[in-house]
A = this chain, B = another copy of it.
Amino acid sequence: MSDKRKRRRPDPDSDSDTRPFKHLLKPDTTILSSLRTLASSSAAASSSKTLTLSDLRLSAACREVSDLPPSAVQSAIESLAVSLARSILSGQGFSFTVPSRSSANQLYVPELDRIVLKDKTSLRPYSSVSTVRKTTITTRILHLIHQLCLKNIHVTKRDLFYTDVKLFQDQTQSDAVLDDVSCIVGCTRSSLNVVAAEKGVVVGRLIFSDNGDMIDCTKMGMGGKAIPPNIDRVGDMKSDALFILLVEKDAAYMRLAEDRFYNRFPCIIVTAKGQPDVATRLFLRKMKMELKLPVLALVDSDPYGLKILSVYGCGSKNMSYDSANLTTPDIKWLGIRPSDLDKYKIPEQCRLPMTEQDIKTGKDLLEEDFVKKNPGWVEELNLMVKSKQKAEIQALSSFGFQYLSEVYLPLKLQQRDWL
């Protein structure tokens, strides 16, 4: 530290101790010990059995998919084919029973803090003008997935679409049926070997294997390691971190990576660079589950920041059938919180006025169960909507480029200031 401080002295407006709240900072050892208690309590919490639908006697009323190995998906599709053949031979005809994914069939389960799918299903008969196309597409997708599992290779939704453009016509149709197939087979979309384009990066105190290669994320420089698109080839996670820092934005991630924040406060830093993609959500969950570390989220102080946090935490509506595998329980909202704007004296000119749309989104969020169940979040969100002000993480740069990594975050951790 001291020599760093020396190196930085020439810079008055961002580095003398006049930086707001710098003087409140205790020595790192103090902060670290409080983080250790956080980590151990979180480990204890995780090790206590997590509730399932059956615990809540909901397994009949609700539907969830699970991770299956390619061989299992393969045989599931084969037995489905057999049963379809039987039904045809017995004169029952050819039709799929498809779980409904409409919002009317979705349910937020507070005990699980997740959106899940209810058990409503619909029939998709081949012998009907209205469904013959979709039935054909479903059959074709099942055939393609069967091939993928046989070879155990991974492709994107786009690849899938192009294998039969004539039939699918446009990608939205093959995408929609792909989700249907997940529900029919009862497995996650990643079990189908169809992956999303990778987008996230990870850096810090984590070692894991990607497709057989051991990756040490403390040795990934500033760029970090791109999060693999296929989670089923990720494993052997090891870490001496005390927490996982989930960052919304690329710029904040870069600042922390360059300053090697994870060496001052042992942590794993991960970002999806904006909207969470499936690969990053799966990776975050896997880290949380295997390492039993607390997850602290650093997002913009606007409705979308909280929305992004909620997608990691409770899942997105359109993939609710997969929520159990995509969501990471118990994510703490570290910042930037609406109350921080005044608390940390963010200059007026660095705050942005909320648009009508922003305010509407904020009010909608206040109606969401996953927000309601957290009084602290409701309070913060109310404050945001009332003040009609938002701010990006980068707004902290107004106190100097390294204010985020040298003052704001350490102070937040020291004060255990998360919700």
Cα separation A8 to B151 with both chains bound (whole Å): 6
What sequence of 0s and 1s flags, for each residue 260-295 of chain A, a beta carbon within 8 Å of any chain B beta carbon? 000000000000010000000000000000000000
A223 CB to closest chain B CB, in angstroms?
Answer: 4
Residues of B within 8 Å of A211, CB to CB, are 221-222, 258
Q: Which secondary structure dominates chain A's binding surface?
A: mixed
Known A-B contacts A255-B155, A349-B165; A215 and B221 likewise in contact (beta carbons under 8 Å)? yes
This protein's copies in its complex: 2
The yes or no answer to A142 lying at the interface (CB within 8 A) is: no
Interface of chain A residues 14 through 39 with chain B (CB within 8 A): 14
Q: B147, B166, B394, B400: which contacts A349 (Cβ < 8 A)?
A: B166
Contact at B228–A159, with CB atoms within 8 Å? no
With both beta carbons as reference points, the residue of chain B lying nearest to A163 in the complex is identified as: B397
Chain B residues in 8 Å Cβ range of A151:
7-8, 11, 401-402
Taking the closest CB of chain B, its distance from the CB of A342, in whole angstroms, is: 17
A250 touches B159 (CB 8 A): no
Q: How far is the CB of A347 from chain B (nearest CB, A)?
A: 8
- Contact among B154, B201, B398 for A258, CB-based, below 8 A: B154
Compute how far the CA of A154 lies from the CA of B347 in the bound complex, rounded to whole angstroms: 23
Bound: A404/B201 CA distance, A: 27
A222-273 contacts to B (CB < 8 Å): 222-230, 233, 250-251, 254-255, 258-259, 273
- With contact pairs A251-B156, A349-B165 given, residues A220 and B224 touching in the complex (Cβ less than 8 Å): no
List residues of chain B with CB within 8 A of the CB of A224: 226
Residues in A395-415 with C-beta less than 8 Å from chain B: 395-398, 400-402
> Which residues does A use to contact B, with CB under 8 Å?
7-8, 10-11, 14, 147-148, 150-151, 153-156, 158-166, 195, 197-198, 201, 209-215, 219-230, 233, 250-251, 254-255, 258-259, 273, 347, 349-350, 392, 394-398, 400-402
